[in-house]
Amino acid sequence: MQILECHKLQKIYGSGASAVQALREVSTGFAQGEICAVRGPSGSGKSTLLHILGGLEYPTAGKVFYRGADLFAYNDNQLSILRRRRFGFVFQAYNLVQELTAYENILLPVLLDRRKPDKKHVSMLVEMLGIGDRLDHLPSALSGGQQQRVAIARALANKPAILFADEPTGNLDGKSGREVLALLKYASRELGVTLVLVTHDLHIAEQAERIITLEDGAITHDSGQRGAGHES
């Protein structure tokens, strides 16, 4: 069963002669618990696709369905709640709040949702990611790899169904990058979370179960060959 699907996505930035078409008729879908890498050269539309799939950006045309419901039929408040509760995001730049400790950063999305944290779940994430001895540190006192581990824990604190990771190893050295990738895969398998990973690096993409290749805003190859199959 596909948990997330998109149908004929288009995204155009600008207008007239300066218009840039970032996505061209992109249709695909993702199964529950799947680990999928989206790869392609710079400017191929990878991050744009991830942002639209995650409800962070609106398409110019096309549809995105989460569990059969049209993502962009929600109003802004409903979409914000869906993102907080069902989607997790990990970015290249970590995006941690510098004034908060690692532990406070992890709990932040749960508290923003005005819910009581599941401390047993958070403790499990902390142990899984190996950051138990860094929880009282500010981000400035953590290495890049440690900051990304905190970011992953934060993204998983709300028990999302889908984890979107946009170049999560881009700011890390080779060893830290491999460790973070292994942790993302491990967390996905242990928690049954669908992982959609954007990368320009073929070696990283090859660690996924499935690879979607984008070029010039269009899918040129899909090793899973799963179509969206959702008509509007």
Structural domains of the chain ordered from first start: 32-59+72-222 (3.40.50.300)
How far is it, in rounded angstroms, from Cα 220 to Cα 5?
A: 17
Question: Tell me, what's the pLDDT at 77?
Answer: 92
Quote the pTM value.
Answer: 0.91
Q: What is the pLDDT of residue 231?
A: 37
Using an 8 Å Cβ cutoff, are 198 and 38 in contact? Answer: yes
CA distance 40 to 49: 12
* pLDDT score recorded for residue 1: 72
Residue 211 has a pLDDT of 96
pLDDT along the chain (232 residues), means of 10: 94 92 96 95 94 96 96 94 93 94 95 89 93 96 95 94 93 87 90 94 90 96 61 35
Contact between 79 and 55 (Cβ < 8 Å): yes
Alpha helices in 45-112 (DSSP H): 46-53, 76-86, 102-112
Residue 14 token pair: 């600008």
Q: Give pLDDT, residue 225.
A: 57
- Give the phi and the psi of residue 82 in degrees, each rounded to 5: -60, -45
